[in-house]
Amino acid sequence: MKTNQLSGSVLSFIGDAILSLKVREFLVSKGYTKAKDLQEKSVIFVGAKGQAAFMQDLIDKAVLSDHELYIFKRGRNANMGSVAKNVDVISYRVASGLEALYGYLYYEDIKRLDELFTMMLDFYAHKF
């Protein structure tokens, strides 16, 4: 797959699915089995506010390469068409950028994707 030919919104679409799957696998591995618990815990990771907070932490700590920041910005600046009702536009766009980065890394660097996901788990460790 030539990721340079994929739009930021397509990378976000793929990244959303990848992140959702990784979160679900993590929660099940932690022993969560009730649908209500799984849903409540997954929102920490897949909700726009949580994703935006984590992304800001990555930026503040200068964890991302210049190219990763470029991919993030492609997703953040993509025209998504709509915004979720329960979140502000800025958080939604930042979350879309993070998802684009996950989508890109899924195709280009699984090891780095796993590193960032581990950082995300560490960022939210106090919630589990």
66 is catalytic: no
CB 102 within 8 A of CB 76: no
CB 32 within 8 A of CB 17: no
CB 95 within 8 A of CB 52: yes
**Element of type H or E holding 78:** none
Cα–Cα dist 88/93, whole Å: 9
Cα–Cα dist 4/6, whole Å: 6
Residues identified as active-site = 16
